[in-house]
Structures are given as C-alpha cells and as structure tokens.
C-alpha cells in the first residue's frame, strides 16, 4: 500500500557510538554475524553459512563466529565509487567498506548492503526509480519524493536503506533512513552506523527474551 509515509526517530539510536574505523566495524560485524546465526538464521541458512564443525558447536550452544561479509574494499575502489556518485562518503560508511565490501543476512526486510561499486542514487536504481515514480504520482508524498531523489541507496531488499548527503550532522555523518514501501514507513537514524546497530539491538532483545523462557 502506498501512501504518505510516517518518519520516526528511534530514541535509543542517539546513544550508540558511531563506528568509523575498519577495526571498529570488523569487531562489530563479527558480533553481528555471531548473533545472527544464533537468533535469526533458519536451518537452511545455517547449513549454507556454517561448516560441519561450526554446526556441531552451535548445537552444543558454543560460540560460533561466522563472517557474513566480504573482503574489504580497497581505497581505490572506494574513491572510484565516490567519484562516480560525486560525493565523499561519511566516516561510518568509509569505515564499513574498508572492513567489508558489502554484507548479507541483515535483520528485517533488507537483503544486504551493496558493495561500494554498486551503491547508487535511489532515483537511478531500477527498484528505486520505480518507487519514486509511484510515490510522485500520488498527492501528499512530496516530502518522500524529495528524499528519494536526493538519497543514495546503500542497501535494498523488500525495504531500502538510504543515506541523505544533504543532511549532515556535526560529526560529518549523513542522516540514514530505513524505508518500507509496503507500509509507507520511513525511520530516520543519525548515521549509517546507527541504522546498522538498530538491527543488532533488535536481535539482542530477542536473544534476551529467549534466554528468559
């Protein structure tokens, strides 16, 4: 259903430290992968993500640390992507790509973060352009359409992860959004790092609830 989206701003994202270095991202992504296979992955995913030794360790409720990302992007590839888009990525985005050039198996309805060479303006992607045109055809969506046309699509599945280079915080970070076309919901975060952390926090909450059962 398409309609005027409601933008919300989660309160707990303001207190999360922004990840800016490859080392910080690597440590966080290792924890993210560990939590994902424990809380979110179904049996089919586990069989694809883990080897036999890891699967046995998981059955014994031992710690398993799969890497769900890619090899780091080189500085040259990162600069080439920035030049193609005509921007310089904020620190959290640069640090992420220098730790992992893309990411799979995310929380919620996003398939994965694009490799830096496939990051695109939302208006120029096939799915993003289609959504933008659809929203533009319906009165009342003007704010959303302006956001779509100025934002970079960094991840996509059923939902989108967007970065707004025109909304820059004092730390140099761009505002980030999770947009769900099915419901017309837009959730704003202060940075790409905060957006990524939101999925981790959701999984951590579910893990706590499972431990209490």
Q: Tell me if 31 is assigned to some domain.
A: yes
How does pLDDT run across 171-196, given as a tens digit for each residue?
A: 999 999 999 998 888 999 999 999 99
Residue 39: domain span: 6-212
| pTM for the full predicted model | 0.87
Q: Tell me if 59 is assigned to some domain.
A: yes
pLDDT score, position 211 = 60
CB hemisphere CA count around 162 (13 angstroms): 31
How does pLDDT run across 20-68, given as a tens digit for each residue?
A: 999 999 999 999 988 888 887 778 877 787 888 888 888 888 888 788 8
Q: Which residue reads 């967007």 in tokens?
A: 162
Q: Tell me if 116 is assigned to some domain.
A: yes
Q: Tell me if 56 is assigned to some domain.
A: yes
Return the CATH number at 147: 3.40.1580.10
Q: Tell me if 1 is assigned to some domain.
A: no
Is 82 within 8 Å of 50 (Cβ atoms)? no
Q: Tell me if 120 is assigned to some domain.
A: yes
Q: How many domains does the chain have?
A: 1
Q: Tell me if 202 is assigned to some domain.
A: yes
């Amino acid at each position: 259903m398409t309609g005027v989206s409601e933008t919300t701003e989660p309160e707990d994202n303001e207190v999360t430290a922004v990840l800016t270095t490859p080392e910080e991202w690597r440590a966080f992504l290792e924890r993210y992968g560990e939590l994902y296979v424990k809380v979110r992955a179904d049996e089919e995913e586990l069989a694809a993500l883990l080897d036999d030794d890891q699967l046995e360790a998981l059955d014994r409720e031992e710690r398993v640390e799969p890497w769900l990302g890619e090899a780091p992007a080189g500085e040259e590839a990162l600069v080439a992507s920035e030049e193609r888009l005509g921007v310089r990525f904020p620190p959290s985005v640069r640090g992420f790509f220098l730790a992992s050039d893309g990411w799979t198996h995310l929380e919620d309805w996003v398939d994965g973060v694009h490799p830096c060479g496939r990051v695109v303006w939302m208006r120029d992607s096939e799915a993003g352009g289609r959504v933008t045109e659809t929203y533009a055809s319906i009165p009342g969506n003007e704010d959303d359409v302006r956001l779509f046309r100025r934002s970079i699509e960094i991840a996509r599945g059923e939902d989108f992860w967007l970065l707004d280079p025109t909304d820059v915080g004092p730390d140099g970070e761009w505002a980030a959004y999770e947009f769900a076309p099915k419901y017309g919901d837009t959730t704003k975060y202060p940075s790409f790092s905060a957006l990524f952390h939101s999925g981790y926090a959701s999984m951590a909450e579910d893990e706590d609830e499972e431990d209490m059962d």
